[in-house]
């Protein structure tokens, strides 16, 4: 499998060009955005996996998917781009991100909001999910990546 077969997570809203260490659009780290085209398949998959795990963590706290097949069918019928190999909670995010203003009954898509979010408007929920996903990515960067960069920048000597 060539590097071309693994698509970029980029959503066209890159904030790393403005100095952010974590992109507010795709949630990748700045160095991942910069070096993406040089990554091999395993490195790209590792980035995708981390993003998926963080997004799923946010999504399962907000909603339940009771019919994965209905959700997939709705995404396909509405021509909403999603990654079939990812968790259905990532699919749900794509649906909410693209259709928050037009979806009236989430149940028709095979999912339901958890009780504490049932009175939220979908655009408000979409923004909260995106913000939490960003904050988790940023926390992951600060916890696991930044200390290594600091160590490399200031070697013990």
Residue 144 lies in a domain: no
> What pLDDT shows up at residue 150?
56
> What pLDDT shows up at residue 1?
35
Residue 24 lies in a domain: yes
Contact present, 91 and 71 (Cβ < 8 Å): yes
Count the alpha carbons within 13 Å of 76 in the hemisphere toward its beta carbon.
Answer: 7
Q: pLDDT higher for 30 or 146?
A: 30
Q: Look up the domain containing 60 and give its range.
A: 3-136
Dihedrals phi, psi of 22, to nearest 5 degrees? -125, 130
> What pLDDT shows up at residue 154?
60
- Cα-Cα end-to-end distance for the chain: 43
Q: Note the pTM of the prediction, 2 decimals.
A: 0.89
Alpha carbons 39 and 75: distance in angstroms, whole number: 30
Contact present, 136 and 58 (Cβ < 8 Å): yes
Strand partners, 63: 113
Share of the chain above pLDDT 90, in %: 79
Render pLDDT for 132-143 as a digit per residue (tens, 0 to 9): 999 999 999 999
Residue 51 lies in a domain: yes
Q: How many domains does the chain have?
A: 1
pLDDT band, residue 145 (cuts 50/70/90) = confident
Checking if the pLDDT of 113 tops 90, the result is: yes
Residue 81 lies in a domain: yes
Residue 72 lies in a domain: yes
Alpha carbons 78 and 84: distance in angstroms, whole number: 15
Residue 10 lies in a domain: yes
Residue 110 lies in a domain: yes
Alpha carbons 79 and 87: distance in angstroms, whole number: 18
Residue 75 lies in a domain: yes
């Amino acid at each position: 499998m060539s590097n071309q077969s693994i698509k970029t997570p980029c959503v066209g809203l890159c904030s790393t060009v403005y100095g952010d260490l974590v992109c507010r659009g795709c949630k990748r780290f700045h160095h991942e955005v910069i070096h993406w085209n040089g990554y091999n398949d395993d490195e790209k998959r590792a980035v995708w996996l981390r993003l998926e795990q963080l997004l799923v963590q946010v999504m399962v706290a907000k909603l339940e998917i009771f019919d994965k097949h209905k959700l997939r069918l709705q995404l396909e019928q509405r021509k909403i781009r999603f990654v079939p190999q990812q968790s259905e909670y990532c699919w749900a995010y794509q649906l909410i991100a693209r259709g928050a203003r037009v979806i009236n009954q989430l149940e028709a898509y095979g999912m339901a909001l958890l009780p504490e979010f049932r009175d939220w408007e979908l655009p408000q929920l979409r923004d909260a999910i995106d913000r939490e996903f960003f904050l988790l990515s940023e926390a992951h960067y600060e916890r696991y990546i930044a200390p290594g960069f600091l160590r490399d920048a200031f070697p013990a000597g």
